[in-house]
Amino acid sequence: MVVKSIAQPNIHAMLKEGNILLGKKQFQDALVVFDKIITTSPKNADAYYARGVAYSNLDKRVEAISDYTRALYYNPQKIEALINRASTFSEMQKYDDALNDFNKAIEMAPNRADVYNNRGYLFNLQRKYDKAIADYDKAIALNKKYSMAYINKAYAWSALGSDSLSIDVLSKLIAINPEYSSAYFNRAVMYRQLHKNNLAIADYDKGLALEPTDVTALLKRAEIKDETGNHIGAASDCSIVIEQDKRNATAYYSRALAEFDLKQYEKIIYDCTEAIKYKEKYFEAFILRGNAYDFLGKYQEALKDYNSAIEANKNASDAYNQRGIAETKKGNVVGALSDFTRALKIAPDNRDLLHKRGILWYATKNYENAVLDYNKILEINPNDIKALVTRGDIFLLLNKNEYACADFKRAESLGDGGAMSKRIFNCK
Protein backbone atom coordinates (compact mmCIF):
# COMPACT_ATOMS: atom_id res chain seq x y z
CA MET A 1 0.00 0.00 0.00
CA VAL A 2 2.85 2.37 0.80
CA VAL A 3 4.45 1.73 -2.61
CA LYS A 4 1.17 2.50 -4.38
CA SER A 5 0.66 5.80 -2.58
CA ILE A 6 4.19 6.89 -3.48
CA ALA A 7 3.96 5.84 -7.15
CA GLN A 8 0.60 7.47 -7.90
CA PRO A 9 1.68 11.09 -7.29
CA ASN A 10 4.73 10.45 -9.48
CA ILE A 11 2.49 9.39 -12.34
CA HIS A 12 0.37 12.51 -11.95
CA ALA A 13 3.50 14.63 -11.95
CA MET A 14 4.82 12.86 -15.04
CA LEU A 15 1.48 13.33 -16.84
CA LYS A 16 1.63 17.02 -16.02
CA GLU A 17 5.22 17.19 -17.30
CA GLY A 18 4.29 15.38 -20.52
CA ASN A 19 1.31 17.64 -21.15
CA ILE A 20 3.48 20.71 -20.62
CA LEU A 21 5.84 19.36 -23.27
CA LEU A 22 2.86 18.85 -25.60
CA GLY A 23 1.88 22.47 -25.03
CA LYS A 24 5.41 23.53 -25.97
CA LYS A 25 5.22 21.33 -29.11
CA GLN A 26 8.16 19.25 -27.88
CA PHE A 27 6.46 16.09 -29.05
CA GLN A 28 9.46 13.77 -29.13
CA ASP A 29 10.36 14.66 -25.55
CA ALA A 30 6.72 14.18 -24.52
CA LEU A 31 6.79 10.67 -26.00
CA VAL A 32 9.67 9.73 -23.71
CA VAL A 33 7.66 10.81 -20.66
CA PHE A 34 4.48 9.00 -21.71
CA ASP A 35 6.44 5.84 -22.53
CA LYS A 36 7.75 5.84 -18.96
CA ILE A 37 4.26 6.28 -17.54
CA ILE A 38 2.86 3.42 -19.63
CA THR A 39 5.74 1.17 -18.59
CA THR A 40 4.90 1.90 -14.95
CA SER A 41 1.12 2.00 -15.36
CA PRO A 42 0.14 0.01 -18.50
CA LYS A 43 -3.61 0.61 -18.01
CA ASN A 44 -3.42 4.39 -17.75
CA ALA A 45 -5.95 5.72 -20.28
CA ASP A 46 -4.76 9.32 -19.89
CA ALA A 47 -1.20 8.37 -20.80
CA TYR A 48 -2.29 6.47 -23.91
CA TYR A 49 -4.46 9.40 -24.97
CA ALA A 50 -1.68 11.94 -24.44
CA ARG A 51 0.85 9.75 -26.26
CA GLY A 52 -1.66 9.48 -29.12
CA VAL A 53 -1.73 13.28 -29.31
CA ALA A 54 2.07 13.32 -29.50
CA TYR A 55 2.05 10.70 -32.27
CA SER A 56 -0.62 12.64 -34.18
CA ASN A 57 1.53 15.76 -34.13
CA LEU A 58 4.50 13.75 -35.37
CA ASP A 59 2.36 12.46 -38.29
CA LYS A 60 2.53 8.91 -36.91
CA ARG A 61 -1.15 8.25 -37.47
CA VAL A 62 -1.12 4.45 -37.14
CA GLU A 63 0.56 4.71 -33.73
CA ALA A 64 -1.87 7.47 -32.73
CA ILE A 65 -4.89 5.35 -33.67
CA SER A 66 -3.47 2.48 -31.64
CA ASP A 67 -3.03 4.66 -28.55
CA TYR A 68 -6.46 6.30 -28.81
CA THR A 69 -7.96 2.81 -29.07
CA ARG A 70 -6.10 1.67 -25.95
CA ALA A 71 -7.22 4.77 -24.09
CA LEU A 72 -10.84 3.94 -24.97
CA TYR A 73 -10.36 0.33 -23.95
CA TYR A 74 -9.26 1.33 -20.45
CA ASN A 75 -11.72 4.24 -20.26
CA PRO A 76 -14.67 3.91 -22.70
CA GLN A 77 -15.96 7.34 -21.59
CA LYS A 78 -12.79 9.17 -22.68
CA ILE A 79 -14.58 11.15 -25.38
CA GLU A 80 -11.49 13.17 -26.38
CA ALA A 81 -9.80 9.95 -27.45
CA LEU A 82 -12.87 9.07 -29.54
CA ILE A 83 -12.94 12.52 -31.19
CA ASN A 84 -9.19 12.48 -31.89
CA ARG A 85 -9.36 8.97 -33.29
CA ALA A 86 -12.19 10.07 -35.59
CA SER A 87 -10.16 13.06 -36.80
CA THR A 88 -7.12 10.85 -37.40
CA PHE A 89 -9.25 8.37 -39.36
CA SER A 90 -10.41 11.35 -41.46
CA GLU A 91 -6.80 12.30 -42.20
CA MET A 92 -6.15 8.70 -43.26
CA GLN A 93 -9.25 8.84 -45.53
CA LYS A 94 -10.87 6.06 -43.51
CA TYR A 95 -14.15 7.92 -43.66
CA ASP A 96 -16.48 5.14 -42.50
CA ASP A 97 -14.42 4.58 -39.36
CA ALA A 98 -14.28 8.31 -38.73
CA LEU A 99 -18.04 8.71 -39.13
CA ASN A 100 -18.67 5.81 -36.77
CA ASP A 101 -16.51 7.48 -34.08
CA PHE A 102 -18.10 10.91 -34.54
CA ASN A 103 -21.58 9.38 -34.29
CA LYS A 104 -20.61 7.64 -31.04
CA ALA A 105 -19.19 10.91 -29.69
CA ILE A 106 -22.45 12.71 -30.49
CA GLU A 107 -24.39 9.98 -28.66
CA MET A 108 -22.11 10.47 -25.65
CA ALA A 109 -22.20 14.28 -25.74
CA PRO A 110 -25.09 15.55 -27.89
CA ASN A 111 -24.51 19.17 -26.82
CA ARG A 112 -20.87 19.48 -27.86
CA ALA A 113 -20.63 21.91 -30.76
CA ASP A 114 -17.08 20.87 -31.67
CA VAL A 115 -18.14 17.30 -32.45
CA TYR A 116 -20.76 18.48 -34.94
CA ASN A 117 -18.19 20.83 -36.47
CA ASN A 118 -15.65 18.03 -36.82
CA ARG A 119 -18.21 15.67 -38.33
CA GLY A 120 -19.17 18.45 -40.72
CA TYR A 121 -15.53 18.73 -41.77
CA LEU A 122 -15.53 14.98 -42.44
CA PHE A 123 -18.52 15.49 -44.74
CA ASN A 124 -16.60 18.32 -46.42
CA LEU A 125 -13.75 15.91 -47.17
CA GLN A 126 -16.27 13.55 -48.73
CA ARG A 127 -17.85 16.42 -50.70
CA LYS A 128 -21.14 15.83 -48.93
CA TYR A 129 -21.60 19.55 -48.50
CA ASP A 130 -25.32 19.54 -47.68
CA LYS A 131 -24.70 17.22 -44.73
CA ALA A 132 -21.70 19.31 -43.73
CA ILE A 133 -23.77 22.50 -43.64
CA ALA A 134 -26.43 20.79 -41.52
CA ASP A 135 -23.75 19.85 -38.97
CA TYR A 136 -22.25 23.34 -38.95
CA ASP A 137 -25.73 24.74 -38.31
CA LYS A 138 -26.07 22.41 -35.32
CA ALA A 139 -22.67 23.50 -34.02
CA ILE A 140 -23.62 27.18 -34.38
CA ALA A 141 -26.98 26.59 -32.71
CA LEU A 142 -25.12 25.15 -29.74
CA ASN A 143 -22.49 27.88 -29.73
CA LYS A 144 -23.38 31.11 -31.54
CA LYS A 145 -19.76 32.30 -31.30
CA TYR A 146 -18.13 29.13 -32.70
CA SER A 147 -15.94 30.86 -35.28
CA MET A 148 -14.54 27.76 -36.98
CA ALA A 149 -18.04 26.41 -37.68
CA TYR A 150 -18.82 29.64 -39.57
CA ILE A 151 -15.56 29.38 -41.54
CA ASN A 152 -16.22 25.75 -42.46
CA LYS A 153 -19.83 26.49 -43.40
CA ALA A 154 -18.66 29.32 -45.66
CA TYR A 155 -16.25 26.92 -47.37
CA ALA A 156 -19.04 24.40 -47.92
CA TRP A 157 -21.29 27.03 -49.55
CA SER A 158 -18.41 28.09 -51.78
CA ALA A 159 -17.78 24.47 -52.78
CA LEU A 160 -21.46 24.26 -53.76
CA GLY A 161 -20.89 27.26 -56.03
CA SER A 162 -22.60 29.87 -53.87
CA ASP A 163 -19.95 32.46 -53.02
CA SER A 164 -22.67 34.96 -52.11
CA LEU A 165 -24.05 32.67 -49.38
CA SER A 166 -20.48 32.06 -48.24
CA ILE A 167 -20.03 35.82 -47.88
CA ASP A 168 -23.28 36.06 -45.90
CA VAL A 169 -21.99 33.46 -43.42
CA LEU A 170 -18.66 35.23 -43.01
CA SER A 171 -20.37 38.60 -42.61
CA LYS A 172 -22.42 37.14 -39.74
CA LEU A 173 -19.20 35.87 -38.16
CA ILE A 174 -17.61 39.32 -38.47
CA ALA A 175 -20.66 40.90 -36.83
CA ILE A 176 -20.33 38.43 -33.93
CA ASN A 177 -16.53 38.48 -33.72
CA PRO A 178 -15.10 41.62 -35.41
CA GLU A 179 -11.61 40.87 -34.08
CA TYR A 180 -11.35 37.51 -35.89
CA SER A 181 -8.87 38.09 -38.71
CA SER A 182 -9.57 34.77 -40.49
CA ALA A 183 -13.14 35.88 -41.17
CA TYR A 184 -11.88 38.91 -43.12
CA PHE A 185 -9.25 36.85 -44.95
CA ASN A 186 -11.77 34.18 -45.98
CA ARG A 187 -14.34 36.76 -47.07
CA ALA A 188 -11.62 38.45 -49.13
CA VAL A 189 -11.09 35.17 -50.99
CA MET A 190 -14.81 35.00 -51.77
CA TYR A 191 -14.92 38.61 -52.96
CA ARG A 192 -11.98 37.96 -55.23
CA GLN A 193 -13.71 34.95 -56.76
CA LEU A 194 -16.60 37.28 -57.54
CA HIS A 195 -14.09 39.76 -59.08
CA LYS A 196 -14.90 42.34 -56.41
CA ASN A 197 -11.27 43.27 -55.95
CA ASN A 198 -11.87 46.51 -54.04
CA LEU A 199 -13.90 44.68 -51.42
CA ALA A 200 -11.28 41.94 -51.27
CA ILE A 201 -8.52 44.49 -50.68
CA ALA A 202 -10.62 46.19 -47.98
CA ASP A 203 -11.04 42.87 -46.15
CA TYR A 204 -7.33 42.05 -46.39
CA ASP A 205 -6.65 45.52 -44.97
CA LYS A 206 -8.98 44.87 -42.02
CA GLY A 207 -7.58 41.41 -41.38
CA LEU A 208 -3.99 42.58 -41.60
CA ALA A 209 -4.73 45.40 -39.18
CA LEU A 210 -5.46 42.60 -36.69
CA GLU A 211 -2.72 40.20 -37.86
CA PRO A 212 -0.11 42.37 -39.61
CA THR A 213 2.37 39.52 -40.10
CA ASP A 214 0.05 37.02 -41.80
CA VAL A 215 2.22 35.95 -44.73
CA THR A 216 -0.53 34.31 -46.79
CA ALA A 217 -2.78 37.35 -46.54
CA LEU A 218 0.05 39.73 -47.44
CA LEU A 219 0.94 37.71 -50.54
CA LYS A 220 -2.70 37.43 -51.63
CA ARG A 221 -3.20 41.17 -51.17
CA ALA A 222 -0.03 41.78 -53.17
CA GLU A 223 -1.37 39.61 -55.97
CA ILE A 224 -4.60 41.61 -56.19
CA LYS A 225 -2.74 44.92 -55.99
CA ASP A 226 -0.51 43.86 -58.86
CA GLU A 227 -3.48 42.76 -60.98
CA THR A 228 -5.28 46.06 -60.36
CA GLY A 229 -2.28 48.21 -61.27
CA ASN A 230 -0.94 49.05 -57.82
CA HIS A 231 2.48 47.56 -58.54
CA ILE A 232 4.31 49.62 -55.92
CA GLY A 233 1.84 48.51 -53.25
CA ALA A 234 2.23 44.89 -54.35
CA ALA A 235 6.01 45.08 -54.13
CA SER A 236 5.71 46.69 -50.69
CA ASP A 237 3.56 43.83 -49.36
CA CYS A 238 6.08 41.31 -50.66
CA SER A 239 8.89 43.23 -48.99
CA ILE A 240 7.09 42.98 -45.64
CA VAL A 241 6.98 39.21 -46.07
CA ILE A 242 10.66 39.08 -46.98
CA GLU A 243 11.55 41.10 -43.88
CA GLN A 244 9.89 38.36 -41.81
CA ASP A 245 11.15 35.41 -43.84
CA LYS A 246 14.21 35.97 -45.97
CA ARG A 247 13.89 32.47 -47.45
CA ASN A 248 10.35 32.92 -48.80
CA ALA A 249 10.76 32.12 -52.49
CA THR A 250 7.16 33.02 -53.34
CA ALA A 251 7.57 36.51 -51.89
CA TYR A 252 10.66 37.19 -54.03
CA TYR A 253 8.90 35.92 -57.15
CA SER A 254 5.73 37.91 -56.44
CA ARG A 255 7.79 41.05 -55.90
CA ALA A 256 9.56 40.41 -59.19
CA LEU A 257 6.18 40.21 -60.95
CA ALA A 258 5.30 43.66 -59.61
CA GLU A 259 8.73 44.96 -60.62
CA PHE A 260 8.20 43.67 -64.15
CA ASP A 261 5.26 46.01 -64.60
CA LEU A 262 7.47 48.79 -63.19
CA LYS A 263 10.18 47.85 -65.74
CA GLN A 264 12.74 47.38 -62.95
CA TYR A 265 14.63 44.64 -64.76
CA GLU A 266 17.76 44.55 -62.60
CA LYS A 267 15.60 44.18 -59.49
CA ILE A 268 13.67 41.38 -61.19
CA ILE A 269 16.91 39.51 -61.86
CA TYR A 270 17.92 39.86 -58.21
CA ASP A 271 14.54 38.74 -56.84
CA CYS A 272 14.20 35.80 -59.21
CA THR A 273 17.73 34.72 -58.34
CA GLU A 274 16.79 34.77 -54.65
CA ALA A 275 13.58 32.84 -55.38
CA ILE A 276 15.53 30.17 -57.27
CA LYS A 277 18.07 29.99 -54.43
CA TYR A 278 15.34 28.94 -52.02
CA LYS A 279 13.24 26.92 -54.47
CA GLU A 280 15.60 25.11 -56.80
CA LYS A 281 13.20 24.18 -59.63
CA TYR A 282 11.15 27.38 -59.62
CA PHE A 283 10.43 27.36 -63.35
CA GLU A 284 8.22 30.47 -63.22
CA ALA A 285 11.13 32.41 -61.72
CA PHE A 286 13.46 31.16 -64.46
CA ILE A 287 10.97 32.37 -67.10
CA LEU A 288 10.52 35.78 -65.47
CA ARG A 289 14.27 36.28 -65.05
CA GLY A 290 14.69 35.22 -68.67
CA ASN A 291 12.18 37.90 -69.68
CA ALA A 292 14.14 40.51 -67.74
CA TYR A 293 17.38 39.47 -69.46
CA ASP A 294 15.52 39.59 -72.77
CA PHE A 295 14.41 43.20 -72.18
CA LEU A 296 18.00 44.11 -71.29
CA GLY A 297 19.22 42.60 -74.57
CA LYS A 298 21.04 39.75 -72.80
CA TYR A 299 19.69 37.04 -75.08
CA GLN A 300 22.16 34.30 -74.15
CA GLU A 301 21.29 34.65 -70.46
CA ALA A 302 17.59 34.68 -71.38
CA LEU A 303 17.91 31.48 -73.40
CA LYS A 304 19.80 29.81 -70.57
CA ASP A 305 16.96 30.64 -68.17
CA TYR A 306 14.28 29.40 -70.56
CA ASN A 307 16.25 26.15 -70.92
CA SER A 308 16.41 25.85 -67.13
CA ALA A 309 12.65 26.44 -66.89
CA ILE A 310 12.00 23.65 -69.39
CA GLU A 311 14.35 21.31 -67.52
CA ALA A 312 12.43 22.07 -64.33
CA ASN A 313 9.02 21.56 -65.94
CA LYS A 314 8.63 19.89 -69.33
CA ASN A 315 5.00 21.05 -69.44
CA ALA A 316 5.73 24.75 -68.95
CA SER A 317 4.18 26.06 -72.17
CA ASP A 318 5.21 29.63 -71.36
CA ALA A 319 8.87 28.57 -71.20
CA TYR A 320 8.69 27.18 -74.74
CA ASN A 321 6.81 30.32 -75.80
CA GLN A 322 9.42 32.68 -74.35
CA ARG A 323 12.29 30.63 -75.72
CA GLY A 324 10.57 30.69 -79.11
CA ILE A 325 10.40 34.48 -78.95
CA ALA A 326 14.09 34.67 -78.05
CA GLU A 327 14.98 32.29 -80.88
CA THR A 328 12.97 34.43 -83.28
CA LYS A 329 14.95 37.52 -82.24
CA LYS A 330 18.17 35.61 -82.85
CA GLY A 331 16.93 34.59 -86.30
CA ASN A 332 16.72 30.89 -85.41
CA VAL A 333 13.36 30.29 -87.11
CA VAL A 334 13.63 26.50 -86.99
CA GLY A 335 14.23 26.58 -83.23
CA ALA A 336 11.38 29.05 -82.73
CA LEU A 337 8.96 26.92 -84.77
CA SER A 338 9.94 23.89 -82.73
CA ASP A 339 9.33 25.71 -79.45
CA PHE A 340 5.97 27.16 -80.47
CA THR A 341 4.92 23.69 -81.64
CA ARG A 342 5.91 22.17 -78.28
CA ALA A 343 4.04 24.90 -76.46
CA LEU A 344 0.94 24.23 -78.58
CA LYS A 345 1.01 20.54 -77.69
CA ILE A 346 0.56 21.64 -74.09
CA ALA A 347 -1.88 24.51 -74.82
CA PRO A 348 -3.47 23.68 -78.21
CA ASP A 349 -6.07 26.47 -78.07
CA ASN A 350 -3.68 29.30 -77.28
CA ARG A 351 -4.40 31.88 -79.98
CA ASP A 352 -1.28 33.91 -79.25
CA LEU A 353 0.92 30.85 -79.82
CA LEU A 354 -0.97 29.91 -82.96
CA HIS A 355 -0.49 33.42 -84.32
CA LYS A 356 3.23 33.43 -83.55
CA ARG A 357 3.73 30.10 -85.28
CA GLY A 358 1.48 31.18 -88.15
CA ILE A 359 3.59 34.29 -88.71
CA LEU A 360 6.75 32.18 -88.85
CA TRP A 361 5.16 29.76 -91.32
CA TYR A 362 4.15 32.81 -93.35
CA ALA A 363 7.65 34.31 -93.18
CA THR A 364 9.23 31.04 -94.30
CA LYS A 365 6.66 30.65 -97.13
CA ASN A 366 5.06 27.58 -95.56
CA TYR A 367 1.69 29.01 -96.52
CA GLU A 368 -0.41 25.88 -96.15
CA ASN A 369 0.81 25.38 -92.58
CA ALA A 370 0.16 29.04 -91.84
CA VAL A 371 -3.43 28.72 -93.10
CA LEU A 372 -3.98 25.74 -90.80
CA ASP A 373 -2.90 27.80 -87.79
CA TYR A 374 -5.14 30.72 -88.72
CA ASN A 375 -8.02 28.33 -89.37
CA LYS A 376 -7.61 27.10 -85.81
CA ILE A 377 -7.53 30.66 -84.44
CA LEU A 378 -10.74 31.50 -86.28
CA GLU A 379 -12.42 28.32 -85.06
CA ILE A 380 -11.75 29.54 -81.53
CA ASN A 381 -12.71 33.17 -82.26
CA PRO A 382 -14.39 33.89 -85.63
CA ASN A 383 -14.05 37.63 -84.96
CA ASP A 384 -10.25 37.71 -84.65
CA ILE A 385 -9.51 40.58 -87.06
CA LYS A 386 -5.75 40.04 -87.09
CA ALA A 387 -6.21 36.39 -88.04
CA LEU A 388 -8.74 37.24 -90.77
CA VAL A 389 -6.47 39.85 -92.39
CA THR A 390 -3.35 37.69 -92.17
CA ARG A 391 -5.13 34.63 -93.57
CA GLY A 392 -6.50 36.84 -96.35
CA ASP A 393 -2.95 37.93 -97.23
CA ILE A 394 -1.82 34.29 -97.33
CA PHE A 395 -4.76 33.31 -99.54
CA LEU A 396 -3.66 36.01 -102.02
CA LEU A 397 -0.19 34.44 -102.14
CA LEU A 398 -1.82 31.06 -102.78
CA ASN A 399 -3.89 32.63 -105.60
CA LYS A 400 -7.08 31.93 -103.69
CA ASN A 401 -8.49 35.42 -104.21
CA GLU A 402 -12.08 34.44 -103.50
CA TYR A 403 -11.14 33.19 -100.02
CA ALA A 404 -8.93 36.23 -99.45
CA CYS A 405 -11.75 38.60 -100.32
CA ALA A 406 -14.13 36.80 -97.98
CA ASP A 407 -11.64 37.28 -95.14
CA PHE A 408 -11.07 40.97 -95.95
CA LYS A 409 -14.83 41.60 -96.13
CA ARG A 410 -15.36 39.89 -92.80
CA ALA A 411 -12.57 41.93 -91.16
CA GLU A 412 -13.96 45.11 -92.75
CA SER A 413 -17.42 44.36 -91.32
CA LEU A 414 -15.78 44.17 -87.90
CA GLY A 415 -14.43 47.70 -88.32
CA ASP A 416 -10.91 47.22 -89.73
CA GLY A 417 -10.00 50.04 -92.12
CA GLY A 418 -6.90 48.29 -93.44
CA ALA A 419 -9.01 45.32 -94.48
CA MET A 420 -11.27 47.68 -96.43
CA SER A 421 -8.25 48.96 -98.40
CA LYS A 422 -7.12 45.41 -99.15
CA ARG A 423 -10.64 44.48 -100.23
CA ILE A 424 -10.94 47.48 -102.59
CA PHE A 425 -7.51 46.85 -104.12
CA ASN A 426 -7.78 43.06 -104.53
CA CYS A 427 -11.47 42.27 -104.93
CA LYS A 428 -13.95 43.01 -107.67
Domain with residue 79: its CATH number is: 1.25.40.10
Residue 166 lies in a domain: no
Q: What is the pLDDT along the chain (428 residues), one digit of tens a residue?
A: 444 444 455 889 999 999 999 999 999 999 999 999 999 999 999 999 999 999 999 999 999 999 999 999 999 999 999 999 999 999 999 999 999 999 999 999 999 999 999 999 999 999 999 999 999 999 999 999 999 999 999 999 999 999 999 999 999 999 999 999 999 999 999 999 999 999 999 999 999 999 999 999 999 999 999 999 999 999 999 999 999 999 999 999 999 999 999 999 999 999 999 999 999 999 999 999 999 999 999 989 999 999 999 999 999 999 999 999 988 988 899 999 999 999 999 999 999 999 999 999 999 999 999 999 999 999 999 999 999 999 999 999 999 999 999 999 999 999 988 888 888 888 87
Residue 246 lies in a domain: no
- pTM greater than 0.85 (yes/no): no
Q: What CA–CA distance (Å, rounded) separates 110 from 107? A: 6
Backbone phi, then psi, for 53, in 5-degree steps?
-60, -45
Domain count, the chain: 1
Residue 391 lies in a domain: no
Residue 83 lies in a domain: yes
| Domain, as residue range, for 6 | 1-110
Residue 89 lies in a domain: yes
**What single letter denotes the amino acid at residue 364?**
T
Distance of CA 197 to the CA centre of its chain: 18
Residue 408 lies in a domain: no
Residue 317 lies in a domain: no
Residue 68 lies in a domain: yes
Distances (CA, A) of 179 to 174, 185, 207, 300: 8, 12, 8, 53
Q: Could you tell me which residues come within 8 angstroms of residue 395 by beta carbon, excluding any fewer than 6 positions away? A: 371, 401, 403, 404, 407
